[in-house]
């Protein structure tokens, strides 16, 4: 018997028509089901067989976590799971997205495959972000990217970047992105960075609207440590993790990004094809005339 946890974006109107039959379907197949306390409220009263846990504790009680929403919901789910080895199955209700590959129309087909064991697990890199400021070091985690930017300041941000003790460059730009392969199709892509296949062990450093036309993205090994420092006169510097956790830092702070020693696990079904997802999401269309195969 599998135990499914459900995390969802409760702001999605379609969620409330999907959730009750989904839960009933799992219960009918002798699966145990747990939902977060955010879901068990005004819009949905779960059956008594369903367990209700806080977002901080639900991961302790499930074998698979269903993340219903878009890629942003998966990133939130990844933070809930943390270092636990619970895989995520993303059910897609968002717009442009690359992580939640199961559309709502295929929800029950996908769940049956998972129950029958017809799936594989794909590991995705996690970033550890060491923020040194005020005489202490705090560590945060991100799946997509780490962004430093000029915050509310109208001035360009001056940063010095070191890669494993070697100076890379001094950037004058709106900000700087350090992305995993997973995050290469997020903000980094919008800023002109490359698409990096998720299986690669690499990190991408991408300046945001750089003042110099010669400033370009660079891809470095995931074993490197990327250190970002700021000019003393900088004001309004901000640090953002996965586009969801954001706070201001001062110019004396030092941001070190490195590969974490753990991954998140994504459920992938037999017909999952990353390049097909790319073609669909990026709007790549057609075939060259005369090309066969």
Q: Which domains are assigned to the chain?
A: 3-119+269-282 (3.40.50.10330), 126-263 (2.60.200.30)
* Model-wide pTM > 0.95: no
Residue 156 has a pLDDT of: 92
Dihedral, CA of residue 256, residue 259, residue 264 and residue 265, to nearest 10: 160
**Is 149 among the catalytic positions?**
no
Contact at 8 Å (CB) between 185 and 195?
A: yes
Half-sphere exposure of 123 (CA within 13 A, CB side): 11
Query: What is the token pair recorded at 156?
Result: 């360009």
CA 104 vs. chain centroid, Å, equals 20
Contact at 8 Å (CB) between 251 and 234?
A: yes
Residue 153 has a pLDDT of: 80
The residues of the chain scoring below 70 in pLDDT are 1, 94-96, 286-293
Tell me the per-residue pLDDT of 157-195, one tens digit each, with 9 for 90 and over.
Answer: 999 999 999 999 999 999 999 999 999 999 999 999 999
Residue 236 has a pLDDT of: 82
Residue 52 has a pLDDT of: 96
Residue 285 has a pLDDT of: 74
Query: What is the token pair recorded at 289?
Result: 């005339």
Is beta strand 175-179 parallel, antiparallel or unpaired with respect to 145-149? antiparallel
Catalytic residue chosen out of the listed positions 14, 30, 63, 71: 71
Contact at 8 Å (CB) between 114 and 267?
A: yes
- CB atoms near residue 198 (< 10 Å): 18
């Amino acid at each position: 018997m599998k135990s499914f946890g459900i995390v969802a974006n409760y702001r999605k109107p379609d969620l409330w028509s999907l959730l009750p039959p989904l839960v009933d379907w799992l219960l009918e197949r002798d699966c145990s089901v747990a939902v977060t306390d955010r879901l068990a409220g005004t819009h949905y009263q779960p059956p008594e067989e369903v367990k209700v846990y806080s977002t901080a504790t639900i991961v302790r009680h499930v074998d698979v976590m269903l993340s219903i929403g878009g890629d942003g919901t998966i990133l939130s789910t990844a933070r809930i799971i943390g270092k636990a080895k619970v895989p995520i199955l993303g059910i897609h209700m968002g717009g442009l997205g690359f992580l939640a590959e199961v559309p709502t129309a295929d929800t029950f087909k996908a769940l049956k495959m998972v129950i029958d064991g017809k799936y594989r697990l794909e590991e995705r890199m996690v970033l550890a972000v060491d923020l040194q400021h005020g005489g202490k070091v705090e560590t945060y985690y991100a799946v997509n990217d780490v962004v430093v930017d000029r915050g509310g300041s109208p001035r360009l941000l001056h940063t010095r970047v070191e890669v494993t003790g070697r100076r890379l460059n001094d950037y004058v730009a709106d900000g700087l992105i350090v992305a995993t392969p997973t995050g290469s199709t997020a903000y980094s892509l919008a800023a002109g960075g490359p698409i990096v296949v998720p299986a690669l062990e690499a990190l991408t450093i991408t300046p945001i609207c750089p003042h110099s036309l010669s400033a370009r993205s660079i891809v470095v090994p995931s074993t490197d440590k990327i250190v970002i420092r700021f000019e003393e006169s900088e004001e309004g510097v901000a640090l953002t993790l996965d586009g969801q956790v954001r706070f201001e830092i001062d110019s004396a702070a030092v941001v070190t990004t490195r590969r974490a020693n753990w991954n998140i696990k994504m459920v992938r079904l037999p017909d999952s094809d990353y390049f097909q997802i790319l073609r669909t999401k990026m709007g790549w269309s057609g075939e060259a005339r005369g090309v066969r195969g």
